[in-house]
Chain A
Amino acid sequence: MPDKEKKQGTNISRRNFLKGVGTGTVAATVAPSVLIGAEKEADAQTGDAVASATIQLNINGKPYQVEVEARTTLLTVLRDGIDTSGTNIDLTGAKLICDRGECGGCTVMVDGKTVYACMMLAMDAEGKQITTVEGLADGDNLHPVQDAFVQHDALMCGFCTPGFVVSSAALLSENTKPTLEEIKVGLSGNTCRCGTYPFIFDAVKTASKKM
């Protein structure tokens, strides 16, 4: 073979990197409430020695018990996780868009603060109050931010909308009367491609009057 020959397939991905970090975190900080059994190690026969554990998560006021790998992100659990009782968690409002904490499509609240769920390991969310876009409305009564988004048409394709709604709600919970500049700063971690920003700003202003 000539020198130019190249082998592919050995790239280290961010997840893999996170996996290492995550495993360390498990041992250091969440170990008391995490069950890491030898059989779980054995389950991970991928050759990557993936550790897994069963953890408790409180999502939108409801307790869930899920088995996760150390590398599993909070976003993956929300969207694809299966409760140990066999139910799909299926909270698909938060989206994976950029996959590296740049676009805010996966924004959720953890203990009242916005986080990028794609950048948080599920194990690190244990014992915390997780609020997703599905948990903002009170039954049929929309959160003021949600209602204002609809009235102002602050959405088009809607794919980024859950992230913007959660960020807007979090912004207004800290600052009930933000200026336009403060709205721009508060939502600067979210990206929209359809170009709904002007009506999002209007919607947040309208919602702020009801806070």
Chain B
Amino acid sequence: MASWGEASESRLIGKRIPRLSGKDKVTGKAKYTFDINRPGLLYGRILRSEVARANVVDLDLSEAEAMPGVKAVLPLVEVGRQIRYQGQEIAAVAAETDDIAKDAIRRIRVDLEELPFVVTEEDAMAENAPQIRDDWAGNQSEPNVREEGDINAGFEQAAVEVEATYHTPVQTHVCLETHGHVAEWEDDENLTVWASTQGVFGVRNDLAGHFNLPANQVRVITEHMGGGFGSKFGPGVEGRTAANLARATGRPVKLMLTRKAEHLVAGNRPSMTQHVRAGATSDGRIIAYDMKGYGTGGISSGAGFQAPYVYHVPNRRTERRNVAVNVGNQRAMRAPGHPQGAFAMDSLMDELAEKLGMNPLEFRRINDPSEVRQAQYTLGAQEIGWHRRNSVPGSGTAVKKRGIGVGSGQWGGGGGDGTQARVTINADGTVEAVTGTQDIGTGVRTAIAIIVAEELGLNPTDVMVKVGDSGPGLPSGGSGGSQTTASVAPVIKTAAAAAKQKLFERVAPQLEASVEDLRVGNRTIYVVSDRTKTIKWELATGQLGMESISEGGHWDRELRQGGVAGTQFAEVEVDTETGAIRLIKIVAVQDCGLAINRLTTESQINGGVIMGLGQALLEERFMDPQTGRMLNANLEDYKVPGTFEIPEIKSIVFDTHRKVTGVGEPPCIPTLGAIANAVYNAIGVRIRELPITPDKILTALAEKKA
């Protein structure tokens, strides 16, 4: 049976290894899609609607077309069609410089007949609201109702009940490299696209379909990409438009979204509002749970969330609806549905525990079926100093009050079949590993090098890893669902093992040993029963002469495993005079399976925690109900965490087994509940709406006083 071996046998796997792309990234050499300069490059721009809902009455491109330096202008909406959200595409231009392109879109004339719109959930659900979708009555989807157990019997057994409404607003991805492409046609039938994407092969297949080309005549390259977080899978309107502009002009075209468009049309995490009534028995078991909730994913659906979450609830009824608004669509965002659900559930858990007079951690221990999290509670509580928390929330007379809270999460991340890879050993001793996955910042390139190097007795820097290119025709899935490493690692490992086997077969006669008796050492191959028999790596590969060894691999399920648990503890300090919240420390205990590279795994946990704290304390998309526009479509008014918001973060790679699992998403989940509960523990007033901002703190404190 395939295995990764024991930790004690691993020379590289599980160690802290700096990523291979590090040097290129710190010197500015790393080329992202945004950095691609091609001979004859044109710059593309898209004119977008500033109104939320309108009929397109007329579109006149002639003035833009006549401008010097403008090479193509393409309509992206038909006269007579309806604009359904701010940011919707109207027309695109390609010009000699970006500034000319910018001038040109200002010369496009579009006549819009404005229509009544709704941009907030409240307005959408109001009586007599304008109906913005033909297929939904009252701008709401049919409720999705699920029932388990007997909810009435459950509430009868309950000793305490909590009824509360929890809300999280829309958050946007804020990829620092905006969505974008550089498209270049070699001839009428061969297209190369540099794409800032999480799915090289997905973009290839989409564009091949769009242009009705054989898939292998579209090549997609993503050497480096500047963040996706779930929003960058297909080419989207902008990717197809870049390719269309390139086709129309016969020149390469770069088309990157503006920062504003990135907020408006490149996806977002849907909002969540849930009204919950829940009960617990006197011995601390959650016994009944009744939830009615909704969220908006924009004009489309997809506003699901997890409820209940993580903890075992035997009797429950849940009802969820999507609400349509005239705003750009949601896209998957780091652990879709989980952070919202976790915030509500972990808040509810603490509220129930308080009514029972129980320690919230004890209450969790009773209701949490995960053995892994049970162990994590112990470790995390120790690290944060759980005993220091306020036994009476909000007690004390100090202006600045501290509190400690806990939150939990879970995720899959077990990978999937469908990756092809090739490991090649050349006669000169060089080794290549090629596959069609992409490195979205998680460090999969380095993980691949570590696996191959471990298998072949080399150093990671000895392995040339080629990812982010559909050219070699070795497909891999999109980087989503924390699936990348668990999908790719088993294939790479088995390919490297197959290549090693072939090399062993070549050198066995010379070493006068059987293939089974051979092992790799540090850049050597030796005979395990007679260690005096050894051959240096280059001498072994030199026997290949004009040949090379090139082997594929397969997705061995035994090498990966899904399902990770995580727990986080937060300590905060709240200034009761200003409402300012300062994070003191966050302890993240994250189940990671086998961490191929402990250093980059820690980076991912840090990153998840920081995105989580942004959602807890800072981030919110503001829509103006009067104008239908987003009020903070920039990085000034849309707040993402900066240096001042970063507390001490203790990221603990919690080893549970020696099988590969993905951890890109799970660490962003428990942060929200941990912070919300810590704030409550500090000031004794519960904020049930994210983000927890100073104004909400002061209002809540004032209401408590009154």
Known A188-B643, A194-B607, A195-B608; contact A99-B259, beta-carbon cutoff 8 A = yes
A157 to B227, Cβ gap below 8 A?
Answer: yes
Q: Select one of B54, B99, B600, B607 contacting A69, CB under 8 A.
A: B99
A41 CB to closest chain B CB, in angstroms?
A: 13
In angstroms, how far is the closest chain B Cβ from the Cβ of A33? 22
Residues of B near A156 (CB, < 8 A) are 441-443, 600, 603-604, 607
Asked if A184 and B644 make an inter-chain contact with CB atoms under 8 angstroms apart, the answer reads: yes
* Per-residue contact bits, chain B 97-119, to A (CB 8 Å; 1 contact, 0 not): 11110110111111111100000
Tell me the bound Cα distance from A185 to B487 in angstroms. Answer: 41
Contacting residues, chain A, for B209 (C-beta < 8 A): none
Alpha-carbon distance between A130 and B463 when the two chains are bound, in angstroms = 36
Chain B residues, Cβ within 8 Å of A136: 27
B509 within 8 A of A: no
Q: Is residue A132 contacting chain B, with contact meaning CB distance below 8 A?
A: yes
Interface size class of B (residues with CB under 8 A): 35 or more
A65-79, CB under 8 A of B: which get 1 and which 0? 000010110001001
A98 to B411 Cα, complex, angstroms: 32
Which residues of chain A come closer than 8 Å to B604, judged between CB atoms? 156
Query: Does A102 sit within 8 A of B, measured CB to CB?
Result: yes
A85, CB-defined interface residue at 8 Å = no
Select the residue from A94, A95, A132 with max chain B CB neighbours within 10 A. Answer: A95
Q: How far is the CB of B588 from chain A (nearest CB, A)?
A: 11
Which listed residue (A15, A150, A157, A184) contacts B177, Cβ 8 A?
A157
Q: Is the CB of B99 within 8 A of A15?
A: yes
A111 within 8 A of B: no
Given that A6-B114, A48-B103, A96-B34 are contacting pairs, would A191 and B28 also be in contact in the complex, using a CB cutoff of 8 Å?
A: no
Cβ-defined contact, B102 with A158, below 8 A: no
Among A76, A133, A193, chain B packs the most CB atoms within 10 A around the CB of: A193
8 A Cβ contacts from B46-62 to A: 47, 49-51, 54, 57
> Pick the contact of A198 from B37, B98, B649 — CB < 8 Å?
B649
- Asked if A197 is at the interface of the complex by the 8 Å CB criterion, the answer is yes
Provide the A34-57 mask, 1 if CB < 8 A to any CB of B, else 0: 000000000001111010000000
Report B125-178 residues with CB < 8 Å from chain A CB: 174-177
Interface size on A, residues (CB 8 A): 75
Map CB proximity to B onto A185-204 as digits: 1 under 8 Å, 0 otherwise.
10110111111111101000
B306 → chain A closest CB, angstroms: 22
Q: Are B225 and A157 in contact (CB under 8 A)?
A: yes
Tell me, in angstroms, the Cα distance from A136 to B254 when the chains sit together: 28
Bound-complex Cα distance A165 to B51 (A) = 40
Across the A-B interface, how many residue pairs have beta carbons closer than 8 Å? 221
Given contacts A102-B635, A103-B176, contact A146 B102 (CB under 8 A): no
Question: Are the CB atoms of B603 and A196 closer together than 8 Å?
Answer: yes
Residues of A contacting B: mostly = loop
**Which residues does chain A contribute within 8 Å of B642, judged by CB atoms?**
188, 190-191
Of B18-26, B274-282, B422-430, B465-473, the segment with at least 4 beta carbons within 8 Å of chain A is B18-26
Q: Which residue on A lies nearest to B18, using beta carbons?
A: A150
The answer to whether B107 and A9 have CB atoms under 8 Å apart is: yes
B177 partner residues in chain A, CB cutoff 8 A: 95, 97, 157, 159
Asked if B606 and A196 make an inter-chain contact with CB atoms under 8 angstroms apart, the answer reads yes
Give the most central of A103, A145, A188, A197: most B CB within 10 Å. Answer: A197
Q: Is the CB of B98 within 8 A of A197?
A: no
Could you say which residues of chain B place their CB within 8 Å of the CB of A132?
Answer: 28
A134 to B35, CA, bound (A): 14
Closest to A134 in B: B28
Apart from A46-B100, A98-B636, A153-B443, what are 4 other A-B pairs with CB-CB below 8 Å? A8-B109, A45-B67, A98-B634, A162-B26
Residues of B within 8 A of A (CB): 18-19, 21-32, 34-35, 37, 47, 49-51, 54, 57, 67-69, 90, 97-100, 102-103, 105-114, 174-177, 224-227, 229, 258-259, 440-443, 599-600, 602-604, 606-611, 634-636, 640-644, 646, 649, 651
Residues of A in contact with B (beta carbons under 8 Å apart): 1-2, 4-11, 13, 15, 45-48, 50, 69, 71-72, 76, 79-80, 88, 90-100, 102-103, 105, 132-134, 136-137, 142, 145-146, 149-151, 153, 155-162, 165, 183-185, 187-188, 190-199, 201
Give 6 pairs: A residue, B residue, CB < 8 Å, sorted on A: A6-B54, A15-B102, A45-B67, A47-B67, A191-B176, A195-B609
